[in-house]
């Protein structure tokens, strides 16, 4: 895994390395993504970026998250039909999803192996394999 420090100079370098001009707003967003707990939604990122003083618009947050995804800096996590989460960890790994709380935890891919995947149709290429383990508390009140 690429070691990432969370200070401005190294975030600036990180963006540049991915061909992204390091503007003020992008650095703020990068800091939220890489500096705090993982798996935030666009809305949560918007709120955190503007915690101290409003400085970034909704449009910019969405633009930036899509840009970061396109450039391989972060990854979308699609587990909740209501919103997309963004994962600053781009190493191969999977997710444990707490259906009750919405909490997402990483599962390292190293320990895990999948066999028996079918061949893809000709001309097609795997973009990624997502494994989502959905869990819940064992004795919910619903019988």
Partner DNA sequence: GCACAAATTAGACAAAGTCCAATTATTGAA
Partner DNA sequence: TTCAATAATTGGACTTTGTCTAATTTGTGC
Q: What angle do CA 105, 43, 129 make, to 5 degrees?
A: 40
Q: Pick the closer one to DNA by CB: 116 or 143.
A: 143
Pick what 113 binds: a second copy, DNA, none; C-beta below 5 to 8 Å, kind-dependent.
a second copy
Cα dihedral 63/23/47/41 (nearest 10): 40
- Which residue has 């969405």 as its token pair? 62
Q: Pick the closer one to DNA by CB: 8 or 58.
A: 58
Q: Which of residues 66-85 bind DNA (CB under 7 A)?
A: 66, 81-84
**Chain length of the chain:** 143
Taking a C-beta distance cutoff of 8 angstroms, is the pair 71, 46 a contact? no
Q: Which of residues 102-141 bind DNA (CB under 7 A)?
A: none
Among 32, 33, 48, 56, binds DNA (CB under 7 A): 56
| Cα(133)–Cα(86) distance, integer angstroms | 17
Number of residues binding to DNA, judged by CB under 7 A: 24
Pick what 88 binds: DNA, a second copy, none; C-beta below 5 to 8 Å, kind-dependent.
none
Distances (CA, A) of 36 to 45, 82, 127, 130: 10, 22, 27, 23
Q: Pick the closer one to a second copy by CB: 47 or 99.
A: 99
Q: Pick the closer one to a second copy by CB: 4 or 79.
A: 79
Q: Which residues of this protein are in contact with a second copy, per CB under 8 A?
A: 76, 78-81, 83-84, 96, 98-99, 107, 111-118, 120, 123-138
């Amino acid at each position: 895994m690429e070691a990432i420090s969370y200070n401005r100079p190294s975030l600036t370098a990180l963006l540049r390395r991915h061909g992204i001009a390091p503007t003020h707003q992008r650095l703020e967003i990068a800091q939220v993504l890489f500096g705090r707990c993982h798996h935030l939604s666009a809305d949560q990122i918007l709120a955190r970026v503007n915690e101290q003083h409003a400085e970034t618009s909704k449009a910019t947050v969405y633009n930036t998250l899509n840009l970061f995804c396109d450039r391989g800096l972060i990854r979308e996590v699609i587990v909740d039909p209501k919103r997309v989460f963004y994962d600053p960890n781009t190493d191969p790994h999977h997710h444990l999803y707490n259906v009750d709380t919405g909490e997402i935890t990483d599962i390292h891919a190293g320990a895990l192996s999948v066999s028996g995947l079918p061949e893809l149709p000709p001309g097609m290429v795997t973009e990624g394999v997502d494994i989502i383990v959905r869990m819940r508390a064992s004795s919910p009140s619903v019988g």
